C-alpha cells in the first residue's frame, strides 16, 4: 500500500517508532548561541543594563527548561534542579573563559584585543561551547551536550567531545581538524595547533566507559598534524610534540618529540627532467 507521493505506509510507522523524548536540535543550537551572546553581549550589541541582564537571564532559563523538558523521564534529577545547577556554574565558566582569552592575548601576536578573540577566533568559540557543554555532560543530561559540541564542530571544524576533561588557559591556534576524544585529559596551559588528533588506538562498543584517549599534562604544546592515541598514553608536563608526529606510548616530562626528515633545495634551472602534473 502506498500513501502520499509514493511513500510507503510503512514509512509512517518508522517515523512513529522514533523516540519522542529527544530534545530539539534547532532549540539546542539557538540556546547555545543565545547563551554565548548573553556572556558576551557586545557580539550582538545587546543592552547591558542590570534590568536587561536579569531579563535575558530569566529568558535563558525558560529556554533551557523548554529544551530539556522532553528528557524529564530519562534524566536523574528534576528539570528545575538541573537548571539551577547549570546556571549556578555559569559565573565560574565565564571566569575560565576570560582567562582563556587572556592566555590567547599573552601568546598570539596577531591578537589585537580580548574582544577580537571572543568575536572571531574559532578556537575560542569551540572552547566556549565545550566548557558549557561539559557542565551538562557532568550532570548526565543526554543528547544536549553533543548537540552543542557538534554545532561548534560544524562551525569551526574543531571536534571536542563534551566528556573530555580540560584544564585552565587552554589555547587552540587555527584549529581546523582538531579532534579531542571523550576520555581525554588535558592539563593547564596546553596549546594545540590545527590537525591534532587526541584519539583511541581502536574502538569497539565494549569499551564504553573505558579510558581510551590520551592524557596531556600541564604546559604541553602539540604542533599541527600530530596524532596521539591510547588511554594509557601520557604526555609529560612541559613537553613539545612537533608537527606530524605519531605517538602511542607515554613520554616523560620535558620531552621533545619530532620527525627527522630531509628537505632538498636546489636551483630549478638545473632541472633536466620535465615537470609532470597529474590532476
Note the pLDDT tens digit of each residue in 26-62: 999 999 999 999 999 999 887 788 999 999 999 999 9
Contact 10, 2 (CB under 8 A): no
Q: Which CATH architecture has domain 164-258?
A: 3 Solenoid (2.160)
| Cα–Cα distance measured from residue 111 to residue 115, given in angstroms and rounded to the nearest whole number | 9
Pick out the chain residues at pLDDT < 50. 1, 276-279
DSSP 9-75: HHHHHHHHHS-S-PPPHHHHHHHHHHHHHHHSGGGTT----HHHHHHHHHHHHHHHHHHHGGGTTTS
Position 1 scores a pLDDT of 47
Q: Which residues of 183-219 are buried (b: 16+ CB within 10 A; e: fewer)?
A: bbbbbbbbbbbbbbbbbbeeeeeeeeeebbbbbbbbb
Give the C-alpha separation, 255 to 160, whole Å. Answer: 25
Residue 165 in 3-state DSSP?
A: strand
So what's the pLDDT on residue 14?
76
Compute CA 178 distance to the chain's CA centroid, rounded to the nearest angstrom: 9
Comma-separated ranges of CATH 1.10.3130.10 domains in the chain: 22-157
C-alpha cell at 23: 530534545
What CATH architecture does domain 22-157 belong to? Orthogonal Bundle (1.10)
Residue ranges, CATH 2.160.10.10, the chain = 164-258
In this prediction, residue 48 carries a pLDDT of 82
Identify the pLDDT of residue 5.
62
> By the 8 A CB rule, do 215 and 232 touch?
no
pLDDT for the residue numbered 224: 97
pLDDT in the model for residue 264: 76
Burial of residue 134 (CB within 10 Å: 0-12, 13-18, 19+) is buried
Amino acid at each position: 500500500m502506498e500513501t502520499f507521493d509514493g511513500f510507503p505506509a510503512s514509512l509512517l510507522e518508522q517515523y512513529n517508532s522514533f523516540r519522542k523524548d529527544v530534545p530539539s536540535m534547532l532549540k539546542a543550537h539557538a540556546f547555545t548561541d543565545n547563551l554565548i551572546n548573553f556572556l558576551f553581549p557586545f557580539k550582538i550589541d545587546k543592552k547591558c543594563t542590570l534590568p536587561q541582564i536579569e531579563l535575558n537571564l530569566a529568558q535563558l532559563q525558560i529556554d533551557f527548561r523548554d529544551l530539556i523538558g522532553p528528557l524529564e523521564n530519562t534524566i536523574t534529577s528534576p528539570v528545575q534542579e538541573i537548571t539551577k545547577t547549570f546556571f549556578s556554574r555559569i559565573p565560574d565558566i565565564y571566569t575560565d573563559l576570560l582567562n582563556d582569552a587572556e592566555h590567547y592575548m599573552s601568546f598570539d601576536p596577531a591578537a589585537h584585543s580580548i574582544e577580537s578573540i571572543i568575536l572571531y577566533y574559532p578556537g575560542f568559540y569551540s572552547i566556549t561551547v565545550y566548557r558549557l557543554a561539559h557542565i551538562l555532560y557532568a550532570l548526565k543530561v543526554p543528547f544536549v551536550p553533543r548537540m552543542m559540541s557538534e554545532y561548534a564542530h560544524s562551525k569551526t571544524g574543531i571536534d571536542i567531545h563534551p566528556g573530555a576533561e580540560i584544564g585552565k588557559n587552554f589555547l587552540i591556534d587555527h584549529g581546523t581538524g582538531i579532534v579531542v576524544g571523550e576520555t581525554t585529559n588535558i592539563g593547564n596551559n596546553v596549546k594545540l595547533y590545527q590537525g591534532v588528533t587526541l584519539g583511541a588506538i581502536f574502538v569497539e562498543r565494549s569499551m564504553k566507559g573505558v579510558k581510551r584517549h590520551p592524557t596531556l599534562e600541564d604546559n604541553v604544546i602539540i604542533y599541527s598534524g600530530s596524532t596521539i592515541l591510547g588511554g594509557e598514553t601520557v604526555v609529560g608536563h612541559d613537553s613539545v610534540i612537533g608537527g606530524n608526529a605519531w605517538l602511542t606510548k607515554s613520554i616523560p616530562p620535558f620531552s621533545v618529540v619530532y620527525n627527522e626528515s630531509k628537505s632538498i633545495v636546489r636551483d630549478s634551472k638545473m632541472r633536466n627532467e620535465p615537470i609532470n602534473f597529474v590532476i
